[in-house]
Amino acid sequence: MNLVKLPQNRDPGPMNAHRPIKVIAVTGGKGGVGKTNLSVNLSIALAELRRRVVLMDADLGLANVDVLLGLQAKHTITDVLDGSKGLRDILLNGPAGIKVVPASSGVQGMTSLTPQEHAALVYAFNELSELLDVLVVDTAAGISETVVSFVRAAQEVIIVVCDEPSSITDAYALIKLLNSEHGVFRFRVIANMTRSNQEGINLFNKLNAVCDRFLDASLQYLGHVPFDENVRKAVQKRQALIQFAPRSKAASAIRVMAQKIDQWPVQASARGHLEFFLERLLAANASGY
């Protein structure tokens, strides 16, 4: 193990003193609702708006970000945790200049880091903060400890739903856990694979009604992405939809959403949201969740 790169103490130093960074988690509870495709394409659309975007793959599932984009990861976050690589060394170059932090079993392990791994991660994120404006985190399905720790650490939470009965119940279960146990109160909702505008609005209303009744949470509708065969075709070609079929219905909808996301205010804090994100991520570790 090579710890040469680590700082002497665990103080991350002045991190991102000038520019706040937007940290956005994409989640949804249910599997297969389109979280990874939306994370990838929203990241590229934000990059097309001239934002510097890092997409972190926090899912070890089969349809990983790197697979979807035809990228090959030589090193992963595990190499960062053992101090042998910096985050810059493991970043993959994606379309439109986005950078991808590939998934690895280290992601799972972020909820139980040793002090040395903890220090390595703080150092690595300190380095990363100079490289980006937006960090998008693609999460796994479900409400595992890993999913919750990433989502509660983010500044913005996007919940992806689609018109399947378990999608709304799974999204509700996740929102309830985040809201009642972890103090997350603001959620943005995307309805994916919709067959009409109204279907998206109905899905949002259904989820909003139950949250309104039982939780102290605020849900905001970000919009819908229509069902579009081009998404599947792009996946088969290992290309991002937004580049494979830039004028498709789904790509157009995603671009409109990226413009909205770009307008979301970022609270200007002295040290930026990347540090906030990391503190929260590591606090989840310390508190056992």
Interaction pattern, residues 225-264, with Mg ion; x per rule: CB under 5 A: ----------------------------------------
- Span of 30-38, 81-89, 118-126, 276-284 interacting with Mg ion by CB under 5 A: 30-38
CB-wise, 15 or 26, nearer to ligand ATP? Answer: 26
- Span of 31-39, 128-136, 191-199, 202-210 interacting with Mg ion by CB under 5 A: 31-39
Contact between 35 and ligand ATP by CB under 6 A: the answer reads yes
Helix, strand, coil tally for the chain in percent (to 5): 50, 15, 35
Contact between 239 and ligand ATP by CB under 6 A: the answer reads no
24 burial level (CB within 10 Å; 0-12, 13-18, 19+): buried
Q: What is the DSSP letter of 91?
A: P
- Tokens 């690589």 correspond to 85
Instruction: Return d(Cα 61, Cα 139) in angstroms, integer.
Output: 10
The only residue of 31, 49, 89, 118 in contact with ligand ATP, by rule CB under 6 A: 31
Instruction: Return d(Cα 242, Cα 232) in angstroms, integer.
Output: 12
Q: What is the DSSP letter of 110?
A: T
Answer whether 18's CB lies under 8 Å from 99's CB.
Answer: no
CB-wise, 34 or 83, nearer to Mg ion? Answer: 34
232, interface contact from Mg ion, ligand ATP, none, CB < 5-8 Å by kind: ligand ATP
74, interface contact from ligand ATP, Mg ion, none, CB < 5-8 Å by kind: none
CB-wise, 36 or 155, nearer to Mg ion? Answer: 36
Instruction: Return d(Cα 142, Cα 130) in angstroms, integer.
Output: 32
Instruction: Return d(Cα 223, Cα 231) in angstroms, integer.
Output: 17
Contact between 36 and Mg ion by CB under 5 A: the answer reads yes
Instruction: Return d(Cα 20, Cα 16) in angstroms, integer.
Output: 7
The residues, ordered by sequence, that sit 6+ positions from 11 with a Cβ below 8 Å of its Cβ are none
Size of the site for ligand ATP (CB under 6 A): 20
Q: Pick out residues in 40-69 that bind ligand ATP (CB under 6 A).
A: 59, 61, 63
CB-wise, 59 or 79, nearer to ligand ATP? Answer: 59
- Tokens 């985050």 correspond to 87
* Residue numbers at the binding site for ligand ATP (CB under 6 A): 31-37, 59, 61, 63, 141, 192-193, 225, 227-228, 231-232, 235, 250
